A and B are shown apart, each in its own frame.
Chain A
Amino acid sequence: GNSVTQMEGPVTLSEEAFLTINCTYTATGYPSLFWYVQYPGEGLQLLLKATKADDKGSNKGFEATYRKETTSFHLEKGSVQVSDSAVYFCALSDLGAAGNKLTFGGGTRVLVKP
């Protein structure tokens, strides 16, 4: 079956530091990959997505590249702000094997200190 593994948190950073959150996946088909963000007390927001190998998703200074050879979709941001403090979820969608379902990783809490 499908699965997503992401690094455990919490990740604590200072403002303007570089952020990387690792995400690897296992899928029986050819999935699309997503990063969702959950700010404190809020629901999930789609941060970025990539639908095929070597695609780079980007939004709000965050980037992630779909690496089929390493089955990875690591999230990066060059200079984080306090407002980036949130929980980040990596997810995959595999229409072929799993219908319309999303499979989520465990989430990574990021805390950015001023």
Chain B
Amino acid sequence: SAVISQKPSRDICQRGTSLTIQCQVDSQVTMMFWYRQQPGQSLTLIATANQGSEATYESGFVIDKFPISRPNLTFSTLTVSNMSPEDSSIYLCSVGTIAGSYNEQFFGPGTRLTVL
């Protein structure tokens, strides 16, 4: 399995500001994803980060709020823009591999964001 790191591990931010979260993988991967986990909740997929093209966003998430970059096959960033307290969550990146007929995903340690 891939080793995934995220920076920062946690942050406390003021409303109206923006935070960029980095995700680094120790090997080249085809698929990278960004999830949000609100307090006490399950994971919600924000978008699929596509290398060399615009990210694919899920319903309810837009590029202006969550711009994503994927400059190469080992790195991606997620920016949480114009933050409000409702954005307080854990943000996780994951990488996916296709092994035969199924998709297996491995997750980074997450970034715990608190917005005041």
Contacts and interface: CB of A to CB of B under 8 A. Distances in A.
B107 interface: yes
Contact of A93 (B42, B48, B103): B103
Nearest to B6: A43
A36 B98 CA distance: 17
Contact of B45 (A44, A51, A102): A102
A51 B98 CA distance: 12
A17 interface: no
A89 B41 CA distance: 11
B104 A106 contact: no
A42 B109 contact: yes
Interface in A42-58: 42-46, 49, 51
Interface residues on B, range: 20 to 34
A49 B104 CA distance: 9
A51 B107 contact: no
A89 B100 CA distance: 23
B104 to A, nearest CB: 7
B43 A104 contact: yes
Contacts of A82: none
Interface residues of A, number: 21
Interface in B92-116: 92, 94, 96, 98, 100-110
A23 B62 CA distance: 31
A70 interface: no
Nearest to A106: B42
B63 interface: no
B31 interface: yes
B108 to A, nearest CB: 6
Interface string A77-90: 00000000000010
B42 A100 contact: no
Contacts of A51: 100-102
Given A32-B101, A43-B108, A107-B42, 8 more contacts: A34-B104, A42-B110, A49-B102, A93-B104, A93-B105, A101-B103, A102-B43, A102-B105
